[in-house]
Amino acid sequence: MGLTPWRDICSNLQELREQFPCWRSNVQNLSTTCRVQSFELRDSFEFLTRNDSVSATQKICINLDKLSVCSVRQYGLYCGANSEKVSASHFLH
């Protein structure tokens, strides 16, 4: 994590801006399609607050990956391959 994703965003700002109209018009679909994965991630964070353990942390990582993969697929579905590529560069790296 850290600053690397932000450096990537700043160096590719125009490419990111080109996605905004589609993302804006599909915000409802993009925010609800992966709700199961989002709830699972939230539940794993809640579990961590009650169980400070390695397995609780691993559960967060697994669920974060699931949400990221789902989100990237949905960006591609609703906004095309370029949008999928842009979102993958931010979600999956």
What 8-state DSSP symbol labels residue 53?
S
Residue scoring higher pLDDT (87 or 66)? 66
pLDDT at 1: 52
DSSP state for residue 34 in the 8-state scheme:
T
Across the chain, what does the average pLDDT equal? 88
Judged on CB neighbours under 10 Å (0-12, 13-18, 19+), 18 is: middle
Predicted confidence (pLDDT) at residue 70 exceeds the cutoff of 60: yes
Tell me, what's the pLDDT at 22? 94
If one counts the domains in the chain, the total is 1
Q: How confident is the model at residue 2 (pLDDT cuts 50, 70, 90)?
A: low
**Domain span holding position 84:** 4-91
For residue 54, count other CB atoms closer than 10 A to its CB. 7
Mean pLDDT on 73-84: 94
